[in-house]
């Protein structure tokens, strides 16, 4: 039994599509940024979107997060056809997006960034003020529930490593009730060890029942945690797989270009070619 099947057995709703894109397209004038792209995001699963720069990953993120509207196709949230008006609308519908730059204030403490834009208050009228004690305690407990044990939630978030900042952003989305978590290249600027830490918390979000969209150009990272894979190339889908229908080697081959890469390797093979050294060998300085 696969991990996906095990989660489905434990929770029958895990196969309910939280978000579904059906042949979605997006145009900027005459430019086709996305063309007939389909994607399913299920509770308790990770759907990976892979592609090189310019493949359409950023446009896909903007549609799911409510920043841009799609021009064709169908976008459904929990079975309901929808057009998101803006990112706040997406948040209200349970879709949280963690961008690569994280949008944090480096000099503010971890707890302040955790509640940025959603600060609880106490008191009334002129005595109304931020509930700092509650924010500190809630941040600490929310991070611990995700298995993140920071030294001090009062330290500036800019002093954390890139992996730790990603983990705080994931824990924040889980705490504020996200149903779908969209992660934009969370391991792109991280080393091997920090990437592993982030992937562990991505899996923790999945196990907490969220539907996760992992945007990445790294097939090895995607295959470690992914349940579904969509490959984009120049704005169009080049392939779609489930975990049990593709191997890592095949996913990597398709991501790298497949037949195009094989054709390039033949072109780059050594051939006799012209004698550019006039009969001399490289490094021979004899006149």
Burial 255-266 (b: 16+ CB within 10 A, else e): beebeeeeeeee
Q: Give the Å distances, CA to CA, from 244 to 11, 19, 27.
A: 20, 21, 34
Residues 6+ apart with CB under 8 A from 187: 166, 194, 195, 198, 199, 216, 218, 221
Per-residue pLDDT of the chain (287 residues; tens, 9 = 90+): 444 454 445 454 546 689 999 999 999 888 889 999 999 999 999 999 998 888 889 999 999 999 999 999 999 999 899 889 898 899 999 999 988 777 788 899 999 999 988 888 888 888 888 889 999 999 999 888 888 888 889 999 989 888 888 888 888 888 888 999 999 988 887 888 888 888 999 999 999 899 999 999 899 999 999 999 999 998 899 989 999 999 999 998 888 766 555 665 666 676 555 555 565 555 555 55
CATH value at residue 214: 3.40.50.300
CA-wise closest residue to 67 among 37, 99, 31: 99
**pLDDT score recorded for residue 163:** 85
Task: Provide the β-strand partners of residue 98.
Answer: 183
Contact 24, 64 (CB under 8 A): no
Q: Give the Å distances, CA to CA, from 214 to 131, 198, 211, 217, 230.
A: 34, 12, 10, 10, 10
**pLDDT score recorded for residue 263:** 63
Inside any domain, residue 146: no
Q: pLDDT (tens digit, 9 = 90+) per residue, 133-188? A: 999 999 999 888 888 888 889 999 989 888 888 888 888 888 888 999 999 988 88
Inside any domain, residue 269: no
Inside any domain, residue 272: no
Contact 113, 105 (CB under 8 A): yes
What is the rounded (10 degree) CA torsion for 243, 56, 218, 200? -70
Inside any domain, residue 136: no
Inside any domain, residue 164: no
Inside any domain, residue 217: yes
SS3 120: coil
Alpha carbons 158 and 174: distance in angstroms, whole number: 21
- Note the pTM of the prediction, 2 decimals: 0.80
SS3 109: strand
Inside any domain, residue 157: no
Q: How many helices (H) and strands (E) does the chain have?
A: 10, 12
Residue range of the domain that includes 210: 3-109+176-263
Q: Where are the beta strands (DSSP E) in the chain?
A: 17-28, 31-42, 46-50, 72-77, 80-81, 95-98, 121-122, 129-130, 180-184, 211-216, 228-233, 236-242
**pLDDT score recorded for residue 287:** 53
Number of structural domains found in the chain: 1
């Amino acid at each position: 039994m696969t991990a996906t099947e095990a989660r489905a057995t434990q929770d029958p709703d895990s196969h309910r599509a939280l978000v579904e894109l059906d042949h979605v397209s997006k145009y900027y004038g005459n430019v086709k940024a996305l063309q007939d792209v389909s994607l399913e995001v299920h509770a308790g699963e990770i759907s990976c979107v892979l592609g090189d720069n310019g493949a359409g990953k950023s446009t896909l993120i903007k549609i799911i997060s409510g920043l841009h509207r799609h021009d064709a196709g169908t976008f459904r949230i929990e079975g309901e056809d929808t057009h998101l008006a803006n990112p706040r609308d997406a948040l209200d519908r349970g879709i949280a997006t963690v961008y690569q730059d994280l949008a944090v204030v480096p000099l503010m403490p971890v707890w302040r960034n955790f509640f940025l834009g959603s600060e609880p208050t106490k008191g009334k009228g002129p005595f109304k003020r931020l509930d700092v004690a509650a924010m500190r305690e809630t941040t600490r407990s929310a991070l611990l529930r995700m298995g993140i044990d920071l030294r001090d939630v009062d330290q500036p978030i800019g002093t954390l490593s890139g992996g730790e900042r990603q983990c705080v952003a994931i824990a924040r989305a889980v705490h504020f009730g996200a149903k779908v978590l969209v992660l934009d290249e969370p391991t792109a600027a991280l080393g091997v060890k920090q990437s592993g830490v982030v992937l562990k918390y991505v899996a923790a979000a999945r196990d907490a029942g969220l539907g996760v969209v992992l945007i990445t150009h790294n097939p090895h990272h995607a295959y470690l945690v992914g349940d579904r894979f969509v490959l984009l190339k120049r704005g169009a889908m080049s392939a779609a797989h489930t975990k049990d229908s593709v191997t890592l080697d095949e996913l990597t081959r398709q991501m790298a270009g497949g037949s195009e890469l094989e054709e390039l390797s033949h072109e780059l093979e050594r051939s006799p070619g012209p004698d550019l050294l006039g009969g001399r060998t490289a490094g021979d300085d004899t006149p």
